[in-house]
Amino acid sequence: MRLLIVEDDPVLSDGLAVGLGLSGFTCDAVGTLADARAALRDHEFSAMVLDIMLPDGAGTDLLAQMRAAGNRLPVLLLTARDRVRDRVEGLDAGADDYLGKPCDLDELAARLRAMLRRGAGRATATVAWRDIVMDPAAMTATRGADVLRLSRREFAILQALLDRPGRILSRAQLEERLYGWQEDVESNAVEVHIHHLRAKLGRDAIQTVRGVGYRVAEGG
């Protein structure tokens, strides 16, 4: 899942990107509200980690604008302002979660997974489809009694497709979820990952909708 981190402290920003990357997230980071607005306009993210006190304004202003415009992107406010009143104001402004600095990276990753789980309408921490079960926290996948050995990219593609069976994701949408700004994307990268997944899951597991994208069957 691809995250946008809005944090003006470069050391903290880098630490968050690296730490959350180890938990399976693809992270892009900006340090101002203006850059955050441009990133949200030009790219698709699964969630955002947003600081409140930024050089060009308050993160809560951006959050309020997003919600007023109908943008439902899951947002976690991560800030040094951690009084009860601050947390209440942040949540009432439209945040899905709120965490004070400094924070534990494992807890932050768990809160992000919980937000994404709620957004996908799932009650459980695992993702199940047919006899395949994925555990995003442990980054493991099984098929029946067998452990599936998936690369990080393969895991991310399969999770994206299983989050909402039946929904078609285009190659561009999958690339947006898999790759950050600093990563080079080969033109056939998604097709190669899909090919590898079919070799491990069976050719009928992932359907190609010609000219549109990929999906797994709704209802398993």
Q: Which domains does the chain have, with CATH numbers?
A: 2-120 (3.40.50.2300), 127-216 (1.10.10.10)
Does pTM surpass 0.85? no
Encoded tokens for 47: 């969630």
List the beta bridge partners of residue 99. Answer: 78
**Tell me, what's the pLDDT at 1?**
84
Q: Measured between alpha carbons, how far apart are the two ends of the chain, in Å?
A: 22
If one counts every other C-beta atom within 10 angstroms of the C-beta of residue 108, the result is 20
Cα(99)–Cα(120) distance, integer angstroms: 22
Buried b (16+ CB within 10 A) or exposed e, 150-167: beebbbbbbbbbbbeeee
CA angle 155, 158, 212 (to 5 degrees): 135
Cα(120)–Cα(134) distance, integer angstroms: 14
Least Cα distance to 55 among 13, 86, 24 occurs for 13
CA angle 29, 108, 24 (to 5 degrees): 65
Return all residues near 169 (Cβ < 8 A) that are at least 6 apart. 160, 161, 213, 214, 215
Q: What does the pLDDT profile of the chain (220 residues) look like in tens digits?
A: 899 999 999 999 999 999 999 998 999 999 999 999 999 998 889 999 999 999 999 999 999 999 999 999 999 999 998 899 999 999 999 999 999 998 999 999 999 999 998 887 888 889 989 899 999 989 999 998 899 999 988 999 999 999 888 899 999 888 888 877 767 667 788 999 999 999 998 888 899 999 899 998 876 5
